[in-house]
Amino acid sequence: MPQVIPTIFMLPIHLFRQNKELILQGLAKKHFKDVVLVDTIIEADETRRRIQLAHDELAASVNSASKLIGQHMARGEKEQAEQLKAQVAQHKETIKDLVQQLADMEQQLHDALVRLPNLPHTSVPEGKTPEENVVVRSGGDMPDLTAQKLPHWDLMAKYNLMDLALGNKIAGSGFPVFIGQGAKLQRALIQYFLDYNTAAGYVEHCPPFMVNEETAYGTGQLPDKEGQMYHVTADGLYLIPTSEVPLTNIYRDVILQESELPVKMTAYSPCFRREAGSYGKDVRGLNRVHQFDKVEIVHIADPATSYETLEGMVSHVEALVKSLGLPYRILRLCGGDMSFTSALTYDFEVYSAAQERWLEVSSVSNFEVFQSNRMKIRYKDAHNKTNLVHTLNGSSLALPRIVACLLENNQAPDGIKLPAVLHSYFGKDMIN
């Protein structure tokens, strides 16, 4: 890759020169509308390369002339030396102007590149809306509840587990306050999820919950999700929407050895999302909040095996959901419902028996080189060649909707029965 290409961008620039149609097809599958950016990028890259060539040719000419000046001076040929000095001075002024042009063109190229999403994997289904996602498989038994079944917000009020009005008083709408057994259930789930992940070889981290702009750019939250992130303007920091952001950036500008792959990390963090424009029954209770707890898994993988890694992560999350006794389904997202950064995503949904609807609780994605190219996360292979890694991540799990479904699906006249795996973490087998 040419040295002058800026570090913060997504798709490798050679793809635009070598396979424009591939990019256009991928963008069409993701229903990305601003495809004129592709031509803008190609034209900017061609201009940048022409400027770079002119710069290099002039720099070589200056070096040659400088050697001749020394030879003329040694032979006492002062007039010829002075003529060359004047020529060199003129070339240096031109080089200075070319350097500025090159910097301007690099910035234009960067500004266009960061606005393009990742390209979808060939297995991504066609489609634009969530209704066109493909159900890969499902499992678990649907609960048989009575007609008096309660949604989780009523159950939480009944057992004094959460107070949304108090959260509204303290911070605003969408910031729940968990109380007593509700707070204990949050803590029990977090610890269980972390223990489950570390038992599978994921190394636990406790990262910062705020990140700088470069970190947010690295994983693709900026500029795509800028309006959805809470921004601490005085310090230029962003509250994280997921621990994927700081975890993956741990390896920014790092060159790993092939023997160090895969890198497996897990972390708990609160997650902060503005979710602007979210209103109505679909966001009631814990269905959509501005602050929530989540445990994340992150893989840094060899590109040759990253899709095997993705399937392994899906199986890992599936077993975790099964252990909670929740009915679930796994969907392969269609192009129009995928995130800006993802090449292939599987969503997990669990069934909310009282609301009679499916709720998303996890996304497991392969980003291929989209993030690693931005962050320059690389590895040296057996031939000592430096390559970009593939990055992957998944929720394991996000708590709010898991809590909602645990409460609703397990409600009984005498309380809420908890799954066996939580008994030791919670200290008893029921909420009552």
In contact, 109 and 44? CB cutoff 8 Å: yes
d(CA 206, CA 49): 43
Q: What is the mean pLDDT of the chain?
A: 92
- 3-state SS string over 52-68? HHHHHHHHHHHHHHHHH
Q: For residue 301, how many other CB atoms are within 10 A of its CB? A: 25
pLDDT higher than 80, residue 326: yes
Strands 328-332 and 134-139: antiparallel
pLDDT at position 8 over 60: no
The pLDDT assigned to 114 comes to 87
The highest-level CATH class for domain 13-113 is: mainly alpha
Cis peptide before 262 (omega within 30 of 0): yes
In CATH, which superfamily holds the domain spanning 130-431? Bira Bifunctional Protein; Domain 2 (3.30.930.10)
Q: pTM (2 decimals)?
A: 0.89
Split at pLDDT 50, 70, 90, the class of 10 is: low
Whether pLDDT at 1 is above 70: no
Quick one: average pLDDT of 343-371?
96
CA gap 122, 139 in Å, rounded = 26
Q: Are 228 and 273 in contact (CB under 8 A)?
A: yes
Give the per-residue pLDDT at 110: 86
pLDDT tens, residue by residue, 24-80? 999 999 999 999 999 999 999 999 999 999 999 999 998 898 888 888 888 888 888
Return the higher-pLDDT residue of 274 and 263.
263
| Closest of 207, 222, 218, 213 to residue 372, by C-alpha | 218
- Tokens 């500025």 locate to 100
Alpha-carbon gap, residue 347 to 360, rounded angstroms: 7
* Helix 181-199 × helix 306-323 angle, to 10°: 140
* 113 against 275, higher pLDDT: 113
Same fold, 13-113 and 130-431: no
Average pLDDT over residues 260-276: 93
Classify burial at 21, counting beta carbons within 10 Å of its beta carbon; exposed 0-12, middle 13-18, buried 19 or more. exposed
Q: How many CB atoms lie within 10 A of CB 229?
A: 18
Could you tell me the strand order of the sheet in which 231-232 lies?
210-212, 237-239, 231-232
Beta bridge partners of 256: 379
Domain boundaries, the chain: 13-113, 130-431
Residue 420 above 90 pLDDT?
Answer: yes
Mean pLDDT of 211-221: 95
Q: Residue 276: its pLDDT value, please?
A: 56
Residues ≥6 apart with Cβ < 8 Å to 259: none
Query: Does 7 have pLDDT greater than 50?
Result: no
| Dihedral sign for Cα atoms in the order 176, 147, 422, 159 | positive
pLDDT number for residue 282 = 64
The residue with tokens 């069409």 is 28
- C-alpha angle 146/151/156, rounded to 5°? 115
How far apart CA 118 and CA 219 sit, in angstroms, is 11
At 212, which amino acid appears?
A: N
Share of the chain above pLDDT 70, in %: 96
Q: Which two tokens stand for residue 12?
A: 């490798």
Predicted confidence at residue 6, as pLDDT, reads 32
Phi–psi pair at 125, nearest 5 degrees: -70, 150
Measure the CA–CA gap between 162 and 180, rounded to whole angstroms: 8
Mean pLDDT in residue range 110-116: 88
